[in-house]
Amino acid sequence: MSKQPETDPGRPAWGFETRAIHAGAAPDALTGARNTPIHHSTSYVFDDVDHAASLFNLQTFGFIYSRLTNPTVAVLEERIASLENARAACAAGSGHAAQFLAFFTFMEPGDHFVASRYLYGGSITQFGVTFRKLGWDCSFADPLEPATFRDALKANSKAIFIESVSNPSSIIGDIETIAGIADEAGIPLIVDNTIATPCLFNPVDHGADIVIHSTTKYLNGHGNSMGGVIVESGRFDWARNDKFPALTTPDEAYHGLTFYETFGDFGFTMRARAVALRDFGPTLSPTNAFMTITGIETLPLRMERHVANASEVAAFLDAHPAVAWVSFAALPSSPSYEWKEKYMPKGCGSVFTFGLKGGYEAGTRLVENCQLLSHLANVGDTRSLVLHPASTTHRQLTEAQQIAAGAGPDVVRISVGLETVEDIIRDLDQALRAAS
């Protein structure tokens, strides 16, 4: 790989697979090490007093303290921004931390936003309960009926939030129409792209302004490192109205600096890092960044296998006598199939749900009887994973809320891994028979 700037691996001219391996990274200048080093340093030496002052004033880019910036984490941020066809990124210690930092960067007490009702259960609680303690209100809408987002907007609405593919119910809405509704209202569309990954879908190319990832899932891919990231498209005009004073008015913590005026198309990312990450501190560790960088190198290969295996497993479950229904956007029977074909023709990941005729009890018996599939609360691993959401991730919700989120008492979530697909199906079959 040439080192010349005109062949910078981070440029869009390079293919996705090439960027997954090279974007943001280069051989170590001192040692020639080809892998990105793990920089386990809390802090970094300044050249002189003026250099230190310029870093703290955000006049020079560089490394100060690893709560804010770290060389290993920076490679991960650049790589994910490149894969998402976006301008910049800011990593955090988890996907939930990334969501919090993203909203804190532009929300004020008393503000409102609209979110899809098909979300990870923890996000529903974060938005509907915890955020209210910060003075942020959330209404929920149906991505299969985009007009419900417009109906839910208020004068103080500051964003629309959706998952590109919902976890766990594999719902995909008309994303471009929802983006249009956000644009009409002069607010950003935030898309959690964890389940699809940039390998299968680029939200920015379809109108998203901010993209969120739990890097813990497919981007890392091996179930060994927590992480999250906020990705900025660079296309949203934060000054088009008066809704976002945090970005368009002077910041007293930086001698009156105005983030959007000063940094332009990456002003949001700069404020997320220099204010939200600085003050709340949910920093991504360099070791977790390194593990995720390594995982991303095989992302295209892994997603191809995930999609192929999930297709066969879903077909098996759809025909099984103990299964009442399967909610997977890749099935022609899904209400999301039209949008899956439009937005994600290569596939929509390998996380979906199915309902058991035996209800709650059958769901708990199924997960207890799986032998190959692991019963745990994660998705996007190389291993196949199974979970009964109503007794775990969504148990904090009422039954009505569980059903609305696609995680009712009869629901089982599966994350199809990379094992031999016949083995996955064999294990599910014996567990279903035991549960029935």
**Residue-wise DSSP of 37-66:** P----SB---SSHHHHHHHHTTSS---SBT
3-state secondary structure of 189: strand
Print burial letters for 74-85: b (CB count within 10 Å at least 16), e (below 16). Answer: bbbbbbbbbbbb
* DSSP β-ladder status, 137-141 and 157-163: unpaired
Does residue 6 belong to any structural domain of this protein?
Answer: no
Question: Which helix (H) or strand (E) covers residue 369, if one does?
Answer: helix 359-369
Q: Which of 145-154, 162-171, 215-224, 390-399 has the lowest mean pLDDT?
A: 390-399
Whether residues 266 and 358 fall in one domain: no
The model scores a pTM over 0.85: yes
Q: Nearest Cα to 166, choosing from 123, 207, 137?
A: 123
The domain tally of the chain equals: 2
> What does the angle CA 322 – CA 435 – CA 172 come to, to the nearest 5 degrees?
55
Single residue among 295, 314, 347 that ends a domain in this structure: 295
Whether residues 291 and 305 fall in one domain: no
Task: Say yes or no to pLDDT of 398 above 90.
Answer: no
Task: Say yes or no to pLDDT of 406 above 80.
Answer: no
Mean pLDDT, range 234-250, rounded to an integer: 98
Single residue among 295, 326, 353 that ends a domain in this structure: 295
Q: What is the pLDDT of residues 24-77, one digit of tens each?
A: 999 998 899 999 999 999 999 999 999 999 999 999 999 999 999 999 999 999
pLDDT range class, residue 410, cuts 50, 70, 90? very high
Q: How far apart are CA 215 and CA 211, in angstroms?
A: 12
Whether residues 113 and 134 fall in one domain: yes
Q: How far apart are CA 390 and CA 403, in angstroms?
A: 9
Does residue 148 belong to any structural domain of this protein?
Answer: yes
Task: Say yes or no to pLDDT of 6 above 50.
Answer: no
Q: How far apart are CA 255 and CA 264, in angstroms?
A: 18
Does residue 53 belong to any structural domain of this protein?
Answer: yes
Question: Which helix (H) or strand (E) covers residue 327, if one does?
Answer: strand 323-327
Whether residues 310 and 291 fall in one domain: no
Contact present, 428 and 370 (Cβ < 8 Å): yes
Task: Say yes or no to pLDDT of 3 above 60.
Answer: no
Name the token pair of 199. Answer: 């390998």
Q: What is the pLDDT of residues 103-120, one digit of tens each?
A: 999 999 999 999 999 999
Does residue 118 belong to any structural domain of this protein?
Answer: yes
The residue segments making up the domain with residue 191 are 13-295
Could you tell me what percent of the chain has a pLDDT over 70? 97
Q: Nearest Cα to 39, choosing from 30, 50, 47, 48?
A: 30
Q: How far apart are CA 79 and CA 63, in angstroms?
A: 18
Residue 166 C-alpha from the chain's centroid:
11
Does residue 3 belong to any structural domain of this protein?
Answer: no
Ramachandran class of 84: left when φ > 0, alpha when ψ lies in -120 to 50, beta otherwise: alpha
Whether residues 284 and 225 fall in one domain: yes
pLDDT range class, residue 12, cuts 50, 70, 90? low
Is the previous residue joined to 168 through a cis bond, with omega within 30 degrees of 0?
A: yes
Does residue 55 belong to any structural domain of this protein?
Answer: yes
Whether residues 317 and 276 fall in one domain: no
CATH code at position 227: 3.40.640.10
Q: How far apart are CA 212 and CA 201, in angstroms?
A: 13
Q: Which residues contact 366 (CB under 8 A, 6 or more apart)?
A: 356, 386, 388, 412, 431, 432, 434, 435
Whether residues 290 and 339 fall in one domain: no
Single residue among 241, 265, 295 that ends a domain in this structure: 295
pLDDT of 336:
98
Whether residues 245 and 334 fall in one domain: no
Contact present, 7 and 58 (Cβ < 8 Å): no
Whether residues 271 and 367 fall in one domain: no
Q: What is the pLDDT of residues 120-168, one digit of tens each?
A: 988 999 999 999 999 999 999 999 999 999 999 999 999 999 999 999 8
Name the token pair of 217. Answer: 């899932």
Whether residues 201 and 305 fall in one domain: no
Contact present, 205 and 234 (Cβ < 8 Å): no
